Copies of this chain bind each other. A is one copy, B any other.
Amino acid sequence: MNIPSRYLEKAVEEIGRLPGIGKKTALRLALHILDYDEHNVRALSESLIQLKEKVLRCQSCGNLSDRNLCEICENPHRDKELICVVEDIRDVMAIENTGQYRGIYHVLGGVISPMEGIGPGDLNIVSLLQKAQTGRIKELIFGLGTTMEGETTTFYLYKKLAEFDITLSSIARGIAMGDQLEYADEATLARSIANRVPYEASLKQS
């Protein structure tokens, strides 16, 4: 591409580094930004700097926060004896959006993936074990994905946590609400039959 300005070229290059944004999209975005008022460009630019400078990790759970502790860990109405282990802060947001969970979280910051060179030491696991050692946790819910990496990580944590007097559970795998059985894959369907729940219990959940 023959970009007529090196400043435009630089902006396209920087925007194009973002995941899922190709060079044509980067150019389209850069030209759009070029049409912004200067005020709006500064607001966008400044928001990125502030994002990097001001956003912290919650010292307890690893969730993002503007303070040392996140809103969830600070909230006195959340059940501190119930921890849901998730991969990523987006999982926290997804579960929070259901409005159904009253415990707290522990964000691993990834899953074990030998292919990508990510081992247990790269994840936020030590502090999870420290929490387990305090004896103040009653139940730990594994809320990781059903990918091979997610399952591996869950199993690794299970082995490490089995010695403690903590109920270890996993979020339910099964047929998604609104889905038809005929379109479900075999593994999911098999799991949903093996882990069937009493009908009256399933009524209460809906």
Contact = CB atoms under 8 A, between A and B. Distances in A.
A7 B41 contact: no
Interface string A46-58: 1111111111100
B33 A25 contact: no
A112 B44 CA distance: 30
A18 interface: yes
Given A14-B44, A19-B32, A45-B45, A51 B89 contact: no
Interface string A35-76: 010101111111111111111100000011110001110000
A29 B20 CA distance: 9
Max chain B C-beta neighbours (<10 A), residue from A7, A34, A43: A7
Contact of A4 (B19, B33, B71): B71
A132 interface: no
A174 to B, nearest CB: 24
A38 B52 contact: yes
Contacts of A29: 18-19, 21
A66 B96 CA distance: 48
A33 B14 contact: no
A41 B31 contact: no
Interface string A1-35: 11111111011011101111100010111111110
Contacts of A33: 18, 48, 51-52
Given A7-B50, A10-B50, A42-B49, 13 more contacts: A2-B96, A2-B97, A4-B64, A5-B54, A7-B51, A11-B47, A13-B47, A15-B44, A18-B29, A20-B28, A27-B90, A34-B55, A38-B53
